[in-house]
Amino acid sequence: MAIILDGKALRDKILQDLKVKIDSYEVKPSLAVILVGDNPASQIYVNNKHKIAQKIGIKSEIINYPTDITEETLLNKIEELNNNSAIDAILVQLPLPEHISKDKVINSILPDKDVDGFTPYNFGKLFSGEIPTVYPCTPKGILLMLDEYNIELDGRHAVVVGRSSIVGRPLSQMLLNRNATVTVCHSHTKNLSQITKTADILISAVGKNIIKGEMLKSDCVVVDVGIFKDENGKTRGDADFETSSKIASYISPVPGGVGPMTIASLMLNTVELFKKHRLN
């Protein structure tokens, strides 16, 4: 039976360490989160981030806008936050309403306040092999979790299922930077199971229950990033836990695996940006 990659326990450990550091600072790190519209999932995520930030001593501000806000108003607000020296980190909660360009909004955030690591500057740094201002939160959390369990990446074959700009693309580059051999699969990939069977480390970020035990190599590591509700309202991940956990050596659960690590990485990134602004 696979060992569980406990993201919740590691998150708590990271946050505890961060709180001690933040308590020692005279000035506290600050995070501004912009939430547009009334998407229930986004509201839950934002409130969760806000509570955790406050709990460890980060000044957190939620800026709410209605769905029909103009793109110009949103861009003006980001410019105001960019110019505010009291704000260390800016996060715009995605998705945005259709009439607002996600790219324009992300591109307008100053790279040294880009807590998600999504601006073209930070993405470009990452993909050129340089060190970005901060690494994207979910991929960073995944690598922190693998490191915590002493899972070797150097020379291993990592298969990443999903090519989103939030997880798949940056994660594949971060794995390459750690000397893994990386294969990226997506919706047009033929014979997915033949490829997943060659993975020493399989990371799936699709949001559909697509990974079964028979698709895995014996003793591989499974990191499940996908999260959705099935027809019975149960929270599920990309991997079928019952069959996959019998084949894998390590597996992350859903919930309780990657999700908590994303939050931990957001707090780590906020403190990193704060240190670059104020402590250098």
Active site residues: 49, 93, 116
In a 3-state reduction of DSSP, which class is residue 135?
Answer: coil
Q: Partners of 222 in the beta sheet?
A: 202, 251
Place of tokens 């693309």: 169
What span, in angstroms and rounded, lies between the C-alpha atoms of 148 and 271? 20
As to burial, measured by CB atoms within 10 angstroms (0-12 exposed, 13-18 middle, 19+ buried), residue 190 is exposed
In angstroms, how far is the first alpha carbon of the chain from the final one? 47
Beta strand segments in 195-273, E: 201-204, 221-224, 228-229, 235-236, 250-251
